[in-house]
Structures are given as C-alpha cells and as structure tokens.
Amino acid sequence: MSKKIIFPVLKRFFYPQHLFQVIKLQLGRKKQKRAFDDAQLKLFSKLLPGDFLHYGYFEDTQTKPEDISLNDIYRAQENYGWQIVNLIDDYEQPVLDIGCGMGGLIALMQKKGIKVTALTPDKNQAKHIREKYLGVELLECRFEDMKADDFFSSFGTVITSESLQYLKLDQSLPIIDKILQKNGKWIVCDYFKTGARGGKSGHNWEIFADKLAKYGFEITSERDITPHIMPTIRYVDMLSTKIGLPVKDFVLEKLKVKAPGLYYALQGALPEIDAKIKKNTDKTDPYIFAANKRYMLLVIERK
C-alpha cells in the first residue's frame, strides 16, 4: 500500500479538523441509518426480484449448497410464499400481512384475488409497497401500536411471516384476538428457539405455546418445515466459510506484506473482528441452527 493511500487515511485520524469530522459522523450514524436502509432495500429488490426476504422452501431437503443457483433461491422463496397463501381458505375476507416486508406475499395473494392490508413500521418498506402495490391499504406502524378498535373483527386471516419473532406476545396476542373475525385464522411461519444456543431472535417454543393457551388460542395445524429451509442455511454457510473467510485472510496477508505498519496498528482489533465474524457465522451454521431452532408453519385459531 503506497504512501499516497496511507497518509490521507492517517491524516483523518490525527489532524484535529479531520478527527472532529470522524467523531461527528460516528456519533451521527443513527441519523444516517435510513439512508443506508434505503440503499439496502434497493439492493434486495435487485437481488431478490420476487420481493421476498426469507429463507425459502426447498422441496428437495437434501439439495447440496454447491448445486444451488440464484434461480433456485428465487423459486424456493416463491414456493415458501405459496406454502403460506395456500393455507388461506377464506378469499372473501381481508387478510392482514403483519411485517409485510417488500410485499412478496401481497403479490401472491393478489393473484388469488384476495384483498390485503399490509403493515410495516419501516419507512422504506412502506415507500416500496406504496410505489409497487397500488391500491393496497398500508398501515405504517408497529403492530403493537395498531389502533385495534378501528379494525375490530375486520380480518378473516392474519399472517405473520418471519415477523412474529419481533412482536411482544403479551401486547400482540390481545390485538390479534380483537381484529380477527369470529372464525378467523392466524397463519404463522417463523422459527422458534428450542435449545440453549438459539440466540436472541425468535420466541422460545414452550413459552409461545403457553402464551397461546393463556390468551385463548390453539394450534390447529402444525408443520415443522426446518428441513425445507436448511438448504438455504447451508448455502449461506458455504458462502461465508468457503468464500468470505478465505477472502478476509487473503486481504490481511496482503496487508501484512504491503503495509506492515498499518497491519501492526490493526492487530489489536483483529481478535475482536474475528469474534464478531464467528458470532455471525454461528447464526448460519446448519448444525447449530438445526440443534437449537425449529422453523414452524402453523395455523392458529381461537379455542
């Protein structure tokens, strides 16, 4: 690495006027979050043309990660959507899609002639929904902040597709009870923690079941679809361990030779960087995931 590259970088850390700007940008990073999210959403919309943001559903549970193409991912994501939509048996009544994301389920339900109300607290997702899915009623808020009285007994079906994990059960279950029609159904597709290494995201399965009983709900249909989402987990794990980590090691080796001074300065942070990488790769380790989580497709109704 040449002096022309190193000196301007170091100058931004040690010259007062530049150091002030570094601190200002770092402290103000939350203000930049939405701009980042907007760019992230555009990236997702190009990489995932079906507007889905989930693991997908592979019919062949033994699909090897080396054999998966992007088209396979697209098909698996749409297939996942149909697994949910095909559980809707009342096409006459409106459906509430809680945590609608980029609207993948909305597109499939529209093909069935189902009236959909979408809900998302994310401003950029809301903007995407408004621009692409014209005429769809959109609630831009957290589900817990939804004005349930305004939607009393309004929906024949409520869907939480990989959004239940973000909801507070004691606040959300009474709202679902209020907005569902008398014989309405709540369709859940999400993962639940069953082991000690389940991580922070997702509800504990036993606690969730107890909460359902407490609020007068029962599971009337239950499928463990973990094997069908595992090909995606194995695919992501392959990308991170067989491509991402070797590239990281390659960059550090080049830095060690080309810029030994900068490499020396970074050495103190390398253990923390490696620990952060390990924490994230553990999330997509197929063995850890399968041992500590269950991905469930549920139909829930009132007792």
Give the CA angle between residues 196, 54, 29 to the nearest 5°: 80
- Average pLDDT value for the chain: 85
**Where would I find the beta strands (DSSP E) of 197-292?**
203-204, 217-224
Give the CA angle between residues 238, 240, 241 to the nearest 5°: 65
Residue 39 confidence (pLDDT): 53
Lowest mean pLDDT among 39-48, 63-72, 229-238, 285-294: 39-48
Dig out the tokens for 225 from the structure.
């679809």
Of 109, 106, 148, 158, nearest in space to 131 by CA: 106
CA dist 98 and 107 (Å) reads 15
pLDDT classification of 277: cutoffs 50, 70, 90: confident
Report the DSSP pairing between strands 95-98 and 116-119.
parallel
Dig out the tokens for 70 from the structure.
């992007």
158 to 143, 146, 161: CA distances (angstroms): 12, 14, 10
Of 88, 302, 87, 80, nearest in space to 182 by CA: 302
**Burial (CB count <10 Å: 0-12, 13-18, 19+), residue 223:** middle
Identify the DSSP state of 206: H
Q: Which residue has the tokens 């973000």?
A: 166
pLDDT classification of 254: cutoffs 50, 70, 90: confident
130 CB-near residues (< 8 Å, 6+ apart): 138
Q: Domain 65-227+291-302, what fold? A: Rossmann fold (3.40.50)
Residue 34 confidence (pLDDT): 45
Residue 282 confidence (pLDDT): 72
130 to 57, 158, 252: CA distances (angstroms): 27, 20, 44
Dig out the tokens for 48 from the structure.
């995932």
248 to 86, 172, 253: CA distances (angstroms): 43, 42, 9
Whether this prediction's pTM lies above 0.85 is answered by: no
- pLDDT of 301 > 90? The answer is yes
CA dist 49 and 84 (Å) reads 19
Residue 278 confidence (pLDDT): 76
65 CB-near residues (< 8 Å, 6+ apart): 231, 234, 235, 237, 238
